Every structure is written in structure tokens, then in C-alpha cells.
């Protein structure tokens, strides 16, 4: 009985430590090291500011890291090759965008407060393609056509998408659909 009690206490403490660890901010830097901080503040135009022991330690630019996590806002971000055609004069420009879906198909967003957000899609590491601009992803006809091309390798998903389109899905329903597609692999 004493052994069971000790086992339960160790298990509970391990579980608490695991759950707590997931709430920490981190950056994955180019050397593939994961660096933990008290606070990672994401700003798509000014870099990533990190805080340790209450002091700003460093501001990373997009060439210094691969991805990161801001636990306060619960966002994941990644560095990506420039997806914007209007930056064609800067072919080696690296940006960091918020990743809202991860898996075989990734969805990224760059938030804009007044003009609508840019939504990008990528499959199996392909170049990003902007599929929508607006406040919340919507399955308009052009978006539906593009998304069907990305899921065409899964007949069931294509049929499910036809049903989804008829329901006039919300932003959350679309993201859930893509997550379900990803989970089927």
C-alpha cells in the first residue's frame, strides 16, 4: 500500500511538471537549440523580444531563429520564406508568421488590425500561398477550389469538404476540418 501511495505522488508531481513546462515561452534558434525564457514577445515587424529574470535579454531577428511559442497569447510562430509578391525585390527575405494549423497542411496568418489578415497555406513544406485576406478564414469559392487541390489526395476529405461548404462554415470549423485532414495521416 505504501508503494502505491508513493507511486501516485511521483506520478502526480511528474504530471504537474509536464503541464507547467508546456506553459513556458521558447525559441528554437538556427542551431536547433531550444532556448526557454520567461517571456517571448512576438512582433512580425520588429523581431522577437525575450525576457529573462525581468530584463530584456535580446531581440532576435528572423535570420536567428526557426520557430517559437508565446504562452501568454498561446501562439506558435515560424520563420518562412517571403510569401508576398510585393516583396519580390527581396527574394531572400525571411518573415515570421503565426502558425494556426500544423501538420501535413500548415496554415499561417499575418494579422493586420485594419485591412484584414493574410492567410497562407503550405503542404509538405511547399512554398506558402496566400489563400485569403480578411477577418477570419472563409470558404469563398476561390478558397474552396484551392483548398480542394491541397486535400485531393484524400477522397473522404474532399467529400467532407463539399458537405462543409454547404454549411457556410465558421473560421473555427475550417481550421478543425484541416486539423482532421492532418490527423488522418
Coil, strand or helix at 51: strand
Q: Would you say the C-alpha torsion 80, 83, 86, 87 has a positive or negative sign?
A: positive
- Cα–Cα distance, 101 to 75 (Å, whole number): 11
pLDDT value of residue 182: 96
Domain segments of the chain as ranges: 2-136
Q: Lowest mean pLDDT of 17-26, 36-45, 80-89, 137-146, name the range.
A: 17-26
Q: What is the pLDDT of residues 118-165, one digit of tens each?
A: 899 999 989 899 999 998 889 899 999 999 999 999 999 999 999 999
The beta strands (E) that lie in the chain are given as 25-29, 34-37, 39-43, 47-52, 55-60, 65-70, 75-81, 94-101, 105-110, 117-123, 129-134
Q: What is the pLDDT of residues 60-88, one digit of tens each?
A: 777 788 888 888 878 888 888 777 766 66
The pLDDT confidence band at residue 45, using thresholds 50, 70 and 90, is low
Amino acid at each position: 500500500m505504501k508503494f502505491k501511495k508513493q507511486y501516485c505522488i511521483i506520478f502526480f508531481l511528474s504530471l504537474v511538471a509536464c503541464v507547467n513546462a508546456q506553459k513556458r515561452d521558447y525559441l528554437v534558434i538556427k542551431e536547433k537549440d531550444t532556448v526557454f525564457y520567461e517571456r517571448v514577445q512576438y512582433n512580425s515587424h520588429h523581431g522577437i523580444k525575450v525576457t529573462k529574470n525581468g530584463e530584456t535579454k535580446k531581440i532576435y531577428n528572423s535570420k536567428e531563429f526557426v520557430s517559437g511559442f508565446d504562452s501568454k497569447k498561446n501562439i506558435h510562430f515560424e520563420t518562412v520564406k517571403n510569401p508576398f509578391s510585393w516583396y519580390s525585390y527581396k527574394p531572400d527575405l525571411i518573415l515570421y508568421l503565426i502558425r494556426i494549423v500544423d501538420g501535413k497542411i500548415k496554415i499561417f496568418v499575418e494579422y493586420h488590425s485594419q485591412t484584414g489578415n493574410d492567410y497562407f497555406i503550405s503542404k509538405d513544406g511547399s512554398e506558402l500561398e496566400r489563400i485569403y485576406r480578411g477577418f477570419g478564414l472563409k470558404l469563398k469559392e476561390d478558397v474552396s477550389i484551392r483548398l480542394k487541390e491541397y486535400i485531393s489526395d484524400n477522397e473522404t476529405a474532399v467529400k467532407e469538404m463539399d458537405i462543409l461548404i454547404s454549411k457556410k462554415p465558421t473560421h473555427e470549423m475550417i481550421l478543425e476540418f484541416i486539423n482532421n485532414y492532418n490527423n488522418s495521416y
